[in-house]
């Protein structure tokens, strides 16, 4: 994938985290991840799109009224690294970190999330 396509995938990934409609979010999860994808961060090791969607649904309850945004996107070969943060619109972030993902075609096959200060 070229950098523009990878950046669009990251944009969809962030939109997925911001989506509160369960059906729309699940469609984004299916569009962003391969069916057998894994998502690992300090609090979870989820395998498959259903488990990833369940985790996002539960995690969103901690960020009601907040917005996820992303920073610099770096990519080479089949990997992408980007920073992110979440917080109230116009306010200071409450959590920030970075993700590293391995791509398979135009989707994420494996993602590791890191929280700053965790």
pLDDT (tens digit per residue) in 78-117: 999 999 999 998 889 999 999 999 999 999 999 999 999 8
In terms of residue numbers, what domain contains 40?
3-115
Could you tell me the CATH number of the domain that includes residue 87? 3.10.450.50
d(CA 16, CA 8): 12
Q: Can you give the pTM of this predicted structure?
A: 0.95
Identify the DSSP state of 61: G
Residue 48: HSE in the Cβ half-sphere, 13 Å Cα cutoff: 3
Averaged pLDDT of the chain = 96
pLDDT at 118 over 90: no
Tell me how many domains the chain contains: 1
* Mean predicted confidence (pLDDT) in 11-40: 97
Q: Where do we find the tokens 């523009």? A: 4
φ and ψ at residue 18, rounded to 5 degrees: -90, -10
pLDDT digits (tens, 9 = 90+) for 29-88: 999 999 999 999 999 999 999 999 999 999 999 998 899 999 999 999 999 999 999 999
pLDDT score recorded for residue 108: 98
pLDDT band at 1 (very low <50, low <70, confident <90, very high): confident
Q: What DSSP element (H or E) covers 51?
A: helix 49-60
- Angstrom CA distances, 56 to 13, 15, 49, 77, 115, stand at 11, 12, 10, 27, 15
Token code pair at residue 46: 């989820």
């Amino acid at each position: 994938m070229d950098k523009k396509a990878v950046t669009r995938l990251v944009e969809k990934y962030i939109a997925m985290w911001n989506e509160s409609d369960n059906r729309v979010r699940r469609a984004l999860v299916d569009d962003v991840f391969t069916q057998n994808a894994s998502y690992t961060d300090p609090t979870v090791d989820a395998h498959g799109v259903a488990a990833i969607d369940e985790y996002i649904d539960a995690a969103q309850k901690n960020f009601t009224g907040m917005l996820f945004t992303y920073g610099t996107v770096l990519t080479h070969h089949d990997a992408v690294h980007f920073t992110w943060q979440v917080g109230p619109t116009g306010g200071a972030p409450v959590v920030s970190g970075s993700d590293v993902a391995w791509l398979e075609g135009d989707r994420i096959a494996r993602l590791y999330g890191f929280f700053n200060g965790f």
